[in-house]
Amino acid sequence: MKLRRLKAMAVKEVLQIWRDPRSLTIALLMPFTQMFLLGYGVTLDIKHIPVCTFDREASQNSQALLKRFEASQYFTITRNVQSYSALVSAIDRADCKLGIVVPPDFSERLSDLGTTSVQAILDATDNNTANISYSYALAVVSGYSSDVQISWSSQQGRPLQLIQPMVVQARVWFNEDLDSRNFIIPGVVVVIMALVGAQLTSLTISREWERGTMELLISTPVKPSEVMCGKLIPYLVLGWIDAAFCLLIATQWFGVPFRGTILTLFLTTTLFLGVVLGIGYLISVLIRSQVGASQIALLVTMLPAQLLSGYVFPIDQMPILLQKLTYLVYARYYVTIIKAIFLKGADIPALLSPIMFLLVYSLAIVALAARAFRKKLG
Amino acid sequence: MSAFRDTSVAPIIVKDLVKRFGDFVAVDHVSFEVARGQIMGFLGPNGAGKSTIIRILCGLLRPTAGHAVVAGIDVARDPEAVRQRIGYMSQKFSLYRDLTVEENLRFFGGIYGVPAAELAERIRFAVDMAGLAGREKALVGTLAGGWQQRLALGCAVLHRPPILFLDEPTSGVEPASRRRFWDLIHTLAQENVTVLVSTHYMDEAEYCHRAALINQGHLVAIGSPESLKQKALGGEFLLLESEALGPTLTALQDAPGVLDSSVFGNAIHVLVADAEKSLGELASYLEARGLRPRRIARIAPSLEDVFVRLVATDTANRRQAA
Alpha carbon distances (Å) from B115 to A221, B85, B87, B108: 15, 15, 17, 12
Question: What is the span of the domain harbouring residue A55?
Answer: 49-162
Residues recorded for chain A: 378
Gap between the Cα atoms of A96 and B63, Å rounded: 74
- Which of B60, B73, B106 to mutate against chain A (most A CBs within 10 Å)? B60
Q: 3-state DSSP call for residue B47?
A: coil
Q: Is pLDDT above 80 for A335?
A: yes
A355 and A279 together in one domain:
yes
A223 and A334 together in one domain:
yes
A55 and A153 together in one domain:
yes
In a domain, A172, yes or no: no
In a domain, A171, yes or no: no
A14 and A120 together in one domain:
no
Q: For residue A364, what pLDDT is reported?
A: 94
Q: Does the distance separating the beta carbons of B108 and A220 come in below 8 Å?
A: yes
- Pick the last residue of a domain from A162, A194, A219: A162
Contact pairs from chain A to chain B, CB under 8 Å: 83
Q: Is pLDDT above 80 for A163?
A: no
Residues recorded for chain B: 322
Q: Is pLDDT above 60 for A142?
A: yes
Q: Does the distance separating the beta carbons of A8 and B94 come in below 8 Å?
A: no
Q: Does the distance separating the beta carbons of A12 and B103 come in below 8 Å?
A: yes
More confident residue, B73 or A42: B73
**Chain A residue with minimal CA distance to B104?**
A12
Q: For residue A234, what pLDDT is reported?
A: 94
Tell me the per-residue pLDDT of B49-85, one tens digit each, with 9 for 90 and over.
999 999 999 999 999 999 999 999 999 999 999 999 9
Q: Does the distance separating the beta carbons of A211 and B97 come in below 8 Å?
A: yes
Out of A8, A219, A375, whose CB is closest to B107?
Answer: A8
A2 close to B (CB below 8 A): yes
Gap between the Cα atoms of A305 and B56, Å rounded: 44
A153 and A266 together in one domain:
no
Q: Does the distance separating the beta carbons of B58 and A219 come in below 8 Å?
A: yes
Q: Is pLDDT above 90 for B121?
A: yes
In a domain, A167, yes or no: no
Q: For residue B1, what pLDDT is reported?
A: 38
Tell me the per-residue pLDDT of A178-220, one tens digit each, with 9 for 90 and over.
677 888 889 888 988 998 888 889 989 999 999 999 999 999 9
A207 and A327 together in one domain:
yes
- Pick the last residue of a domain from A162, A197, A212: A162
Closest-CA distance of chain A to residue B268, Å:
44
- A150, A154, A158, A164 alpha-carbon torsion, rounded to 10°: 20
Q: Does the distance separating the beta carbons of B106 and A221 come in below 8 Å?
A: no
Q: Does the distance separating the beta carbons of B107 and A5 come in below 8 Å?
A: no
Mean pLDDT of A338-346: 91
Tell me the per-residue pLDDT of A237-289, one tens digit each, with 9 for 90 and over.
999 999 999 999 999 999 999 999 999 999 999 999 999 999 999 999 998 88
A300 and A155 together in one domain:
no
A 211-250: CB under 8 A from B: 211-223
Q: Is pLDDT above 90 for A20?
A: no
Q: What is the CATH number of the domain that holds A104?
A: 3.40.1710.10
Q: For residue A109, what pLDDT is reported?
A: 87
Q: Does the distance separating the beta carbons of A16 and B96 come in below 8 Å?
A: yes
In a domain, A205, yes or no: yes
A203 and A93 together in one domain:
no
pLDDT band, residue A160 (cuts 50/70/90)? low
More confident residue, B290 or A51: A51
Of A55-59, B108-112, B248-252, B261-265, the poorest mean pLDDT is in: B261-265
Gap between the Cα atoms of B76 and B91, Å rounded: 21
Q: For residue B288, what pLDDT is reported?
A: 87
Task: Tell me the whole-structure pTM to 2 decimals.
Answer: 0.79
A200 and A312 together in one domain:
yes
A329 and A301 together in one domain:
yes
Choose among A184, A197, A195: nearest CA to A342.
Answer: A184
In a domain, A175, yes or no: no
A205 and A328 together in one domain:
yes
Gap between the Cα atoms of A198 and A280, Å rounded: 4
DSSP B30: E
Q: Is pLDDT above 70 for B213?
A: yes
B213: which residues sit within 8 A by CB, 6+ positions away? B43, B44, B219, B220, B221, B222, B228, B307, B310, B311
- B261 - beta bridge partners? B270
Q: What is the 3-state secondary structure (H, E, C) of A177-192?
A: CCCHHHHHHHHHHHHH
On whether ipTM exceeds 0.90, the answer is: no
- Pick the last residue of a domain from A107, A130, A162: A162
In a domain, A102, yes or no: yes
User: Mean pLDDT of all residues in chain A?
Assistant: 88
Q: For residue B4, what pLDDT is reported?
A: 44
In a domain, A110, yes or no: yes
Chain A residues in contact with B89 by the CB 8 A cut-off are 216
- Which of B107, B123, B149 to mutate against chain A (most A CBs within 10 Å)? B107
Distance from the Cα of residue A270 to its chain's centroid? 21
A8 close to B (CB below 8 A): yes
Rounded to 10 deg, the angle between the A290-307 and A204-211 helix axes is: 160
Tell me the per-residue pLDDT of B10-48, one tens digit each, with 9 for 90 and over.
999 999 999 999 999 999 999 999 999 999 999 988 888
Alpha carbon distances (Å) from A183 to A45, A126, A314, A317, A337: 11, 22, 11, 16, 12
A244 and A124 together in one domain:
no
In a domain, A168, yes or no: no
Tell me the per-residue pLDDT of B249-263, one tens digit each, with 9 for 90 and over.
888 888 888 888 888
User: Mean pLDDT of all residues in chain B?
Assistant: 89
Mean pLDDT of A135-159: 82
Per DSSP, the residues of B176-239 read HHHHHHHHHHHHHHHTT-EEEEEES-GGGGGGSSEEEEEETTEEEEEE-HHHHHHHHHSSEEEE
pLDDT band, residue B2 (cuts 50/70/90)? very low
Q: For residue A334, what pLDDT is reported?
A: 93
Choose among B99, B109, B36, B120: nearest CA to B72.
Answer: B36
Chain A residues in contact with B96 by the CB 8 A cut-off are 12, 16, 211, 213
B30: which residues sit within 8 A by CB, 6+ positions away? B14, B16, B17, B18, B49, B53, B66, B214, B217, B218, B219
How many domains does one find in chain A?
2
Helix (H) or strand (E) holding A199: helix A180-202
Closest-CA distance of chain B to residue A374, Å:
10
